[in-house]
Structure 1
């Protein structure tokens, strides 16, 4: 049904385009008919001869339009193929007999060649920068790990606690950049399996235990006792992003992690932090958008929730956020997945 509608739409567009193209010929033919009719009437020639002339010229003009329509439809179809990148431009453009047409064709091919060279140079340069950036991210992890080990061997002083927190944030930002590069790769493989949700949650909580302790944030965690079909590694990265956000904007408050009693297979991460403005909520998943809170407190890169949305789409789950400014935020991770459609 969809293909039939598409064909009808294309045929309609073709006819409209054709009549627009032959509009000058139509007007010329109608003008000649009117002129001929005026000559016959003024000369008082037989009307039968006039009607015969009109019928004959109409038949010949119809044959002319059919020939023109055949050529136009063929040309129109090839233009559609070029637009959809089905054929190369060089194979389409014919050598015209008009010198002006030949000049236009040469100019078009020259511009296409320049565009391809520019795209190739840009792609190579972008690839080199991406490789360097990825290598740098991997290398920077080594000194961060070394500093972390050195700090663990030192007595816990107030300054040491602050450095521990900043190190954790530095690790988070480094991993965020690496994960962003990985999730943007279309060929990133996912390893789906039945994952113990509590195991992933506990690993995430343990990673951020320093921030809970040092910032006097209490945790209320109810074990879910749920298994979910997902990629455990990317699910943990998702939970880290969300929990990290909650810790940034919750000072001396409480973070709750539990399964939604009203919605099945929905994990909730709730905090009583500063919340999000209503006007910021529609844009929180946009790349680089940090909202008012992020700008005021200079804690947001605008990548955390953008990356979370990318991950949730790849995993086939859903992510929704509810928030009230000054009261807190609830993040709902809908873990149910639709049945995989192997065939369309």
Structure 2
């Protein structure tokens, strides 16, 4: 039986499982004992000795064998209970195990302790390296926001330049990717700050649409927005990031003259729908769109996908206790449904 399954059992069932495991581990000794009793019984029969001698010998051997059996089982049971703490303190647990006279067991115990120590050192180095890289990446992302702001000011001063609209559009994309990377770092760190309050959904949507207005205008994409008049319990900052990501995706994959619709579901309360008439998603890609780094066929062909946007969106909805679902038809468009009804929050935020 699997060791982990035994640990999770109820006390009575666990005791029975340990007893069965002990029997299996010592079945060769039990077979040898039974054969020994049979040999002595055969000798008694051949020697025509009184039957009570045979019965007394069997009773005595059973008593002594039972005492030895219980003693060995007690050691086996204590050893098992000690090994239950192996995950929490592997080296300490192995060192507390009773000394063994079996040179093979001693060798393997020392080998396991050495491997655990080496693994702990590797994990420590990887953690330090990962922390350093994360600190550097975070610093770089914050620093790059300065030249982005400077470029934005220069564009505003000289708004009559021939390529000013195109420059504004590309600058907005740079800002969007930078914020996505920062939000990805924050969402990956345990203990991401969440501040739940009653949030005006229309305010979040209008601010997001205003942010992307240059893309709507430049790409001649029509906005069909029906005010929701909804107030939801959520974290406004992360809800805005979620809505921004969905609208940004719609703008990215919707051609000139397309439409993005934003409205509340007529069928179910607290369901926000963001629908576009873009290129859509292949049916075979749909099951994997929320995987980290997965860009799908359209993302690879059009070279627009980072493979992080929908992963980030899914992680945000989990932490907010909401739900996110996507329906799409290739060549016709994509429909994203954000269920803003609260669900139990995941435990690792």
The change in CA–CA distance for 1:71 and 1:186 in structure 2 (over 3 A counts) is same
Aligned pair partner of 1:24 in 25, 28, 40: 28
Q: Which residue number in structure 2 is paired with residue 130 of structure 1?
A: 134
The change in CA–CA distance for 1:321 and 1:340 in structure 2 (over 3 A counts) is closer
| 1:16 Cα deviation after fit | 2.6
Contact kept in structure 1, 2:271 and 2:339, CA below 8 Å: yes
Q: Which residue number in structure 2 is paired with residue 139 of structure 1?
A: 143
Contact kept in structure 2, 1:81 and 1:87, CA below 8 Å: no
- Report whether the alignment pairs 1:184 with 2:174: no
Aligned pair partner of 1:300 in 300, 305, 314: 305
Aligned pair partner of 2:15 in 3, 11, 14: 11
Contact kept in structure 2, 1:220 and 1:255, CA below 8 Å: yes
Q: 1:6-85 maps to which residues of 2 (within 5 A)?
A: 6-85=10-89
Cα deviations across residues 173-201 of structure 1 (Å, max 9, x unaligned)? 11111101111111222111111110000
| 1:97 Cα deviation after fit | 4.4
Aligned length: 339
SS at match of 1:82: coil
- Report whether the alignment pairs 1:286 with 2:298: no
| 1:119 Cα deviation after fit | 1.9
| 1:149 Cα deviation after fit | 1.7
Matches of 2:253 and 2:159 in 1, distance apart? 28
- Report whether the alignment pairs 1:216 with 2:229: no
Cα deviations across residues 104-159 of structure 1 (Å, max 9, x unaligned)? 44333333322222222221121111111110010011111111221222245563
Q: Which residue number in structure 1 is paired with residue 233 of structure 2?
A: 229
Matches of 1:168 and 1:111 in 2, distance apart? 51
| 1:270 Cα deviation after fit | 0.6
| 1:91 Cα deviation after fit | 4.5
Q: Which residue number in structure 1 is paired with residue 273 of structure 2?
A: 268
Aligned pair partner of 1:206 in 210, 231, 236: 210
Q: TM-score, normalised by structure 2?
A: 0.90
Q: TM-score, normalised by structure 1?
A: 0.91
The change in CA–CA distance for 1:142 and 1:283 in structure 2 (over 3 A counts) is same
